[in-house]
């Protein structure tokens, strides 16, 4: 915990996301690191799972059912371009490296999706939330989040060794769940939130956390990602209840998300990173360009000025929590030990370079 505090403080001093420092901390203190520590494996494992669940639940709180529907309609063309432009390089790189078709699917997922947490923080820290390009950026993030509702069940089913029929069933269940939750949240979200929430913060915290964990656990039982289940619960909480849930659970999210990234770093031997460093750098350059190109195309389509296009391109560069979640699923599926080091090196580069490039992307306002 003290290590997490130190790393978070250093990240704040440097003005970057703490994700790359958490990964470096795990690498430094794990097996093969500078100072291998004897840790409570059980606690870190469970804490890492809680971190994923809370990350996705808190992300779901950012959207209502109506916003998701509107965002999906307006962002569909840009979202498809973003998906094709950024999934394809990762998939092809996986085939070239020798991951095979299955491992390449996971690497394509790693390179596809931007870090919603890092992007949201950049928009807030740099004062870009009121800029004209910001709705375009957010609509692309919404599309990516919805795409993950399909991608995660597929990869999760693969990781758990499900058959083709089982994978198709998992995807259909996920899509059905998404449709039902969005429909119910749009029509009755405020009523349900009032029923669940009371005047006591203690009751609210236990209720929301309990429901989220139950739904996440049930999702895993039917071979749907626990992350997707948590995301759907977050969408279902709206209005004042969402604001209160965000306030109550944000500290827990930050704590266990840090544990998750540390855990991923602990699972990788730093000695394996030099072998994939060249591939990771090359992939970062290519997918940085393709992500920027997709953002540029989307903002140009929305008649945004050049400075706004630069800011949008820079804001979407960072990869983070979802990329690590997908890589972790790949390791569970046994697609190859090199996927973990590759994902760690790639996220380290992109999560660090994204905020730095965004600092030089243009002025705070206008465009």
Distances (CA, A) of 178 to 62, 166, 186, 261, 357: 15, 18, 12, 27, 35
Query: CA 316 to CA 350: how far, in whole Å?
Result: 10
pLDDT for the residue 236: 76
Q: In the structure encoding, which two tokens stand for residue 79, read together?
A: 């979202």
Candidates 1.10.10.350, 3.20.20.80, 1.10.10.10, 1.20.1530.20; CATH matching 60-359: 1.20.1530.20
Q: What distance in Å separates the CA atoms of residue 226 and residue 231, rounded to the nearest whole number? A: 9
Closest to 280 in 3D by CA, of 182, 200, 183, 349: 349
Could you give the CA distance from residue 233 to residue 215 in angstroms, rounded to a whole number? 8
Distance of CA 255 to the CA centre of its chain: 16
Assess contact for 354 and 30: CB atoms under 8 A: no
- The pLDDT, as a whole number, for residue 254 is 82
pLDDT value at residue 312: 92
Closest CA to 174 of 221, 212, 220, 228: 228
Q: How many CB atoms lie within 10 A of CB 303?
A: 8
What tens-digit pLDDT sequence spans the chain (367 residues)? 788 888 889 988 887 778 788 878 888 877 666 676 666 667 777 887 888 788 778 877 776 666 666 666 777 889 899 999 999 999 999 999 888 888 888 899 899 988 876 787 777 777 787 788 888 887 888 788 777 767 776 776 666 666 667 667 767 776 777 677 667 666 666 666 666 666 777 888 888 888 888 888 887 776 566 777 787 788 777 667 777 888 888 888 888 878 877 877 777 778 888 888 999 999 999 999 999 999 999 999 888 999 999 999 999 998 877 788 788 777 776 776 788 888 888 988 888 888 888 878 764 444 5
Name, in order, each residue with C-beta under 8 angstroms of 105's C-beta and a sequence gap of 6 or more: 91, 94, 155, 158
Instruction: Give the Å distances, CA to CA, from 308 to 16, 256, 362.
Output: 21, 34, 8
The whole-angstrom separation of Cα 21 and Cα 211 is 32
Print the SS3 string covering the chain. Answer: CHHHHHHHHHHHHHCCCCHHHHHHHHHHHCCCCCCCCCCCHHHHHHHHHHHHHHHHHHHHHCCCHHHHHHHHHHHHHHHHHHHHHHHHHHHHHHHHHCCHHHHHHHHHHHHHCCCHHHHHHHHHHCCCCCCCCHHHHHHHHHHHHHHHHHHHHHHHHHHCCCCHHHHHHHHHHHHHHHHHHHHHHHHHHHHHHHHHCCCCHHHHHHHHHHHHHHHHHHHHHCCCCHHHHHHHHHHHCCHHHHHHHHHHHHHHHHHHHHHHHHHHHHCCCHHHHHHHHHHHHHHHHHHHHHHHHHHHHHHHHCCCCHHHHHHHHHHCCCCCHHHHHHHHHHHHHCCCCCHHHHHHHHHHHHHHHHHHHHHCCCCCCCC
pLDDT at 365: 46
Alpha-carbon span 183 to 193, nearest angstrom = 15
Tell me how many degrees the CA angle 41-151-81 measures, rounded to the nearest 5.
130
């Amino acid at each position: 915990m003290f290590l997490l505090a130190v790393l978070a403080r250093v990240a704040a001093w440097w003005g970057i996301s703490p994700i790359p420092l958490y990964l470096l901390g795990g690498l430094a203190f794990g097996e093969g690191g500078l100072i291998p520590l004897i840790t409570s494996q059980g606690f870190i494992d469970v804490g890492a799972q809680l971190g994923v669940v809370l990350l996705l639940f808190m992300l779901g709180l950012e959207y209502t059912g109506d916003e998701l529907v509107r965002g999906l309609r307006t962002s569909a063309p840009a979202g498809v371009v973003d998906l094709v432009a950024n999934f394809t390089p990762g998939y092809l790189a996986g085939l070239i490296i020798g991951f095979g078709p299955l491992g390449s699917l996971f690497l394509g997922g790693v390179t596809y999706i931007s870090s919603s947490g890092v992007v949201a923080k950049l928009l807030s820290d740099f004062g870009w939330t009121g800029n004209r390009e910001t709705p375009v950026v957010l609509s692309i993030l919404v599309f990516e989040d919805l795409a993950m509702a399909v991608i995660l069940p597929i990869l999760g089913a693969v990781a758990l060794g499900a058959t083709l029929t089982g994978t198709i069933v998992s995807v259909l269940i996920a899509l059905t769940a998404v449709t039902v939750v969005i429909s119910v949240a749009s029509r009755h979200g405020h009523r349900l939130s009032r029923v669940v929430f009371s005047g006591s913060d203690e009751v609210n915290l236990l209720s929301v956390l309990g429901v989220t964990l139950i739904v996440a656990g049930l999702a895993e039982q039917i071979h749907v990602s626990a992350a997707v289940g948590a995301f759907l619960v977050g969408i279902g909480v709206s209005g004042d209840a969402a604001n209160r849930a965000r306030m109550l659970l944000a500290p827990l999210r930050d704590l266990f998300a840090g544990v998750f990234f540390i855990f991923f770093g602990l699972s990788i031997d730093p000695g394996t990173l030099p072998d994939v460093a060249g591939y990771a750098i090359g992939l970062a350059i290519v997918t940085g360009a393709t992500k920027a190109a997709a953002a540029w195309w989307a903002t140009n389509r929305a008649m945004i000025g050049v400075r706004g296009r630069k800011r949008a391109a820079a804001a979407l560069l960072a990869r983070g929590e979802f990329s690590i979640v997908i890589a972790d699923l790949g390791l569970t599926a046994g697609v190859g030990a090199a996927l973990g080091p590759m994902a760690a090196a790639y996220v380290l580069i992109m999560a660090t370079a994204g905020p730095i490039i965004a600092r030089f992307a243009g002025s705070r306002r206008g465009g």
